[in-house]
């Protein structure tokens, strides 16, 4: 009792302790506010390797003489500042059925580079990193998972209720669906607002499709936002 009384009677010591406690409280609140202000937690969770562009529509040549009903591709991007080995990674595609596409052994993505898996080069496109003849991207939405070699989901896209949120076919033009982003990387793939229809200069599209197929398998267009 005597020790407790001496402690409480020392007003200077008590004042210093209360002051220090108040400082820690205010300081912690400021840090919390700053984290919310800069969305630090969201930035830390941005995917480093992610699905960047999807094309599922049929293609028609500019003179309407050629039609390709299964001209599709999926493109991923490495946003990391170093190369990444994606050997034995896979894409799991769910629509009317489930399909798994495995990346070949020795596949590496350079920093900020793209890797595009397409169905065929006999249609509208001139280049894919991997031609997978059985590729079938659902027309009316679905689920696509990018999975690493350990089975961990690196990125996912889930649009099963109202179809894909962007892209498609309008005014006789087929558009891909491309991911938005900023300095920190891609926006979250499961949000509709994270996607837009491709509306830039077509890349790796054959000349006789250049006015009717808008997409860029394998890279950025000169006028595309290079986040």
The CATH number of the domain holding residue 186 is 2.60.40.1260
20 and 69 part of one domain: no
Identify the helix (H) or strand (E) that includes residue 12.
Answer: helix 11-38
29 and 109 part of one domain: no
Domain-located, residue 225: no
Q: Are 106 and 100 in contact (CB under 8 A)?
A: no
160 and 117 part of one domain: yes
- What torsion, rounded to 10 degrees, do the Cα atoms 220, 221, 222, 226 define? -40
| pTM more than 0.85 | no
153 and 126 part of one domain: yes
Domain-located, residue 222: no
Q: Are 54 and 158 in contact (CB under 8 A)?
A: no
Domain-located, residue 208: yes
Total of domains in the chain? 2
22 and 119 part of one domain: no
pLDDT (tens, 9 = 90+) of the chain, 227 residues, equals: 444 444 445 555 445 544 544 444 433 344 333 323 222 333 333 578 999 999 999 999 999 999 999 899 999 999 988 999 999 999 999 998 999 999 999 999 999 999 999 999 999 999 999 999 999 999 999 999 999 999 999 999 999 999 999 999 999 999 999 999 988 889 999 999 999 999 999 999 999 999 999 999 998 888 887 67
Please name the residue that has the structure tokens 């499961």: 190
Domain-located, residue 174: yes
* Domain extent at residue 13: 2-38
89 and 33 part of one domain: no
How far apart are alpha carbons 221 and 179 in whole angstroms? 14
């Amino acid at each position: 009792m005597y020790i407790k009384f001496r402690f409480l009677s020392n007003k200077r010591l008590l004042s210093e302790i209360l002051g220090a406690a108040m400082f820690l409280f205010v300081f912690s609140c400021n840090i919390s506010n700053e984290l919310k202000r800069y969305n630090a937690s969201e930035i830390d969770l941005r995917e480093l390797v992610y699905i960047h562009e999807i094309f599922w529509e049929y293609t028609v040549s500019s003179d309407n003489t050629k039609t390709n009903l299964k001209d599709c591709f999926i493109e991923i991007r490495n946003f990391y500042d170093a190369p990444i080995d994606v050997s034995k990674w896979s894409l799991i595609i769910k629509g009317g059925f489930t399909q798994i596409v495995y990346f070949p052994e020795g596949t590496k993505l350079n920093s900020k580079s793209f890797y595009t898996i397409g169905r065929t080069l006999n249609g509208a496109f001139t280049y894919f990193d991997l031609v997978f003849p059985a590729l079938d991207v659902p027309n009316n939405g679905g689920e696509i998972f990018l999975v690493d070699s350990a089975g961990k989901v690196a990125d996912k896209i889930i649009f099963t209720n109202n179809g894909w949120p962007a892209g498609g076919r309008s005014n006789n033009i087929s558009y891909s669906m491309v991911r938005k982003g900023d300095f920190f990387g891609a926006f979250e793939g499961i949000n509709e607002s994270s996607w837009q229809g491709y509306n830039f200069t077509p890349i790796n599209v054959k000349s006789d499709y250049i006015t009717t197929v808008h997409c860029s398998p394998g890279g950025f267009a000169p006028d595309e936002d290079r986040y």
